[in-house]
């Protein structure tokens, strides 16, 4: 109860500091090196907050990263980031995304959930633990990334210059923790140029796809569509590429329509074979489940393919499967990017300690570590897992209009982080 009272009494200070950080629009831009003036200002601000909490700070001379640390001994890292995604359409927000707003027990603003709010939650958790008289056995370093929402160039720079931790966590996903992240590879496939254009991004299920018809429209197979003159647009439902089953892929739908009409090209036939064949379903294991895939963009005559694959397979295995579908259609396959999987066993000391900390606070004794197709900062270094701040019943609002954190759950997350530091550092 004493710890809960400490969090309760200190929460106004947490909010005041979070408000200062939310004010800064730390979105990638080219108005200053390396990633924009807003990101530079946010890095300076989080370092200023760190110093006020009694941590020693360092800023990379080139501005790629900074860190705050305290203690000595083996290095324990908390991987954070202070860059945010664009606010999108301001009309979709009920309040200014860069002014911290409180209503209905929630704090609203861009970065409250991803990742400014969780960053400060972990920092204040350690500060308040130390105020209890706790003595550190390790050096704890909060590493502040500046390019997490894009290419992770900040951590590339950090790893080239700095000491690596023996273990740690990233407060940028879900509780109880994520110990399995599938491997990822993104591809571009091209052949006889498709006439389809559509999709929203490489890592999202295509919500729309358009083509200029070369013959009268036939059976639309029940899909939602709009026809203006000879321009056919088919509609699906967007979802993140890591959970394509939650969406409906318009590029696949339109490819199938064109095939039914007898006017499809090799690239569209490939898309239909990909979705309706069984080649990709063979990739499954007991640790991380099934492979998932998504055609995200139809652009410049080709299509992008995002694949999240189980941890027991290699990228080479996956590419072999893709070629078995694409080669009969005479398509080229270009690798755009990829990430190695993350897997830390449930019986590892790190996972056991973090799970115990989560259960001690929440009393969710049946909780199990999570697996996901998405990618967190935890992949960037060995022996790191994603740990909170989202609780199982929380509404996901990161990257959306009216992004928020629940106040009571944030207090609970701080308490979980205090327990975790107590066990591990």
How far is C-alpha 167 from the chain's CA centre? 20
pLDDT greater than 80 at residue 150: yes
Domain final residue pick, 283, 309, 339: 339
Say whether both 157 and 23 belong to one domain: yes
DSSP code at position 88: -
What mean pLDDT do residues 194-215 have?
A: 87
- The b-or-e profile of 306-315 (16+ CB within 10 A means b, else e) is bbbbbbebeb
Please state, in angstroms and rounded to a whole number, the distance separating the CA atoms of residues 40 and 26.
Answer: 8
- Residue partners of 210: CB distance under 8 A and separation at least 6: 196, 197, 198, 231, 232, 233, 234, 254
Domain final residue pick, 339, 360, 381: 339
- CATH number of the domain residue 269 falls in: 3.30.70.360
Query: Which residues span the domain enclosing 295?
Result: 183-339
Share of the chain above pLDDT 70, in %: 100
Say whether both 148 and 22 belong to one domain: yes
* Contact by Cβ (8 Å): 391, 358: no
Please state, in angstroms and rounded to a whole number, the distance separating the CA atoms of residues 304 and 185.
Answer: 11
Say whether both 333 and 257 belong to one domain: yes
Instruction: Give me the helices (H) in 242-342, please.
Output: 250-261, 266-276, 315-326
Domain final residue pick, 314, 339, 364: 339
Quickly list DSSP for 199-220.
ES-TTB---EEEEE-SS-----
pLDDT greater than 80 at residue 120: yes
Say whether both 128 and 59 belong to one domain: yes
Q: Clarify whether 315 is annotated catalytic.
A: no
3-state SS class at 83: coil
* Contact by Cβ (8 Å): 267, 280: no
What mean pLDDT do residues 243-260 have?
A: 93
Q: Could you tell me the CA-to-CA distances from 69 to 107, 273, 313, 330 in Å, in that order?
A: 27, 53, 37, 54
Catalytic residue among 148, 174, 306, 403: 148
- Number of domain units in the chain: 2
Say whether both 15 and 111 belong to one domain: yes
Tokens representing 249 are 């892929």
- The b-or-e profile of 15-48 (16+ CB within 10 A means b, else e) is bebbebbbbbbbbbeeeeebbbebbbbbbbbbbe
Say whether both 154 and 213 belong to one domain: no
**Tokens 């394509």 -> residue:** 244
What mean pLDDT do residues 68-85 have?
A: 96
Say whether both 28 and 177 belong to one domain: yes
* pLDDT of amino acid 241: 84
Say whether both 142 and 198 belong to one domain: no
Say whether both 167 and 201 belong to one domain: no
* pLDDT of amino acid 294: 94
Tell me the residue length of the chain. 425
* pLDDT of amino acid 398: 85
* pLDDT of amino acid 279: 95
What mean pLDDT do residues 91-95 have?
A: 92
Least confident of 40-54, 58-72, 395-409: 395-409
Please state, in angstroms and rounded to a whole number, the distance separating the CA atoms of residues 28 and 32.
Answer: 10
CA angle 133, 139, 141 (to 5 degrees): 105
Higher pLDDT, 101 or 261: 101
Say whether both 89 and 175 belong to one domain: yes
Say whether both 207 and 333 belong to one domain: yes
DSSP code at position 382: T
Say whether both 163 and 215 belong to one domain: no
- CATH number of the domain residue 105 falls in: 3.40.630.10
Average pLDDT of the chain?
A: 94
H helix or E strand, kind and range, residue 167 = strand 167-170
Q: Clarify whether 48 is annotated catalytic.
A: no
Quickly list DSSP for 19-62.
HHHHTS-----SSSTTT-HHHHHHHHHHHHHHHHTT-EEEE-TT
């Amino acid at each position: 109860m004493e710890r809960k009272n400490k969090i309760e009494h200190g929460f106004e200070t947490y909010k005041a500091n979070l408000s200062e950080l939310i004010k800064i629009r730390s979105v990638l831009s080219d108005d200053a090196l390396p990633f924009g003036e807003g990101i530079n200002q946010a890095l300076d601000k989080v370092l200023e907050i760190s110093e006020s909490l009694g941590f020693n700070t360092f800023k990379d001379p080139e501005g790629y990263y900074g860190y705050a640390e305290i203690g000595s001994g083996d290095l324990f890292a908390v991987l954070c980031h202070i860059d945010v995604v664009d606010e999108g359409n301001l009309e979709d927000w009920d309040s200014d995304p860069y002014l911290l707003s409180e209503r209905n027990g929630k704090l609203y603003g861009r970065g409250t959930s991803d990742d400014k709010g969780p960053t400060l939650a972990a920092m204040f958790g350690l500060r308040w633990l130390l105020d209890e008289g706790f003595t550190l056995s390790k050096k704890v370093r909060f590493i502040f990334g500046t390019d997490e929402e894009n290419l992770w160039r900040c951590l590339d720079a950090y790893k080239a210059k700095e000491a690596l931790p023996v273990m740690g966590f990233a407060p940028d996903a879900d509780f109880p923790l994520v110990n399995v992240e599938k491997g990822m590879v993104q591809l571009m496939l091209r052949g006889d140029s498709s006439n389809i254009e559509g999709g929203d991004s490489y890592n999202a299920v295509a919500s729309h796809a358009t083509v200029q018809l070369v013959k009268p429209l036939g059976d639309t197979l029940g899909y939602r569509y709009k026809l203006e003159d000879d321009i056919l647009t088919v509609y699906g439902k967007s979802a993140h590429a890591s959970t394509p089953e939650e969406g409906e892929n318009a590029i696949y739908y339109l490819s199938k329509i064109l095939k039914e009409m007898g006017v499809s090209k090799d690239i569209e036939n490939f898309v239909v074979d990909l979705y309706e064949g069984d080649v990709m379903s063979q990739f499954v294991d007991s640790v991380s489940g099934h492979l998932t895939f998504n055609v995200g963009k139809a652009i410049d005559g080709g299509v992008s393919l995002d694949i999240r694959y189980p941890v027991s397979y290699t990228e080479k295995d996956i590419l072999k499967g893709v070629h078995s579908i694409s080669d009969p259609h005479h398509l080229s396959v270009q690798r755009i990017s990829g990430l190695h999987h993350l897997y830390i066993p449930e019986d590892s000391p790190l996972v056991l300690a973090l799970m115990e900390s989560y259960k001690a606070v929440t009393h969710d004794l049946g909780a199990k570590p999570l697996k996901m197709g998405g990618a967190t900062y935890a992949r960037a270094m060995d022996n790191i897992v994603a740990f909170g701040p989202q609780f199982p019943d929380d509404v996901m609002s990161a990257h959306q209009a009216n992004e928020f954190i629940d106040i009571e759950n944030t207090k609970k997350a701080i308490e979980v982080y205090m327990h975790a530091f107590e066990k591990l550092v």
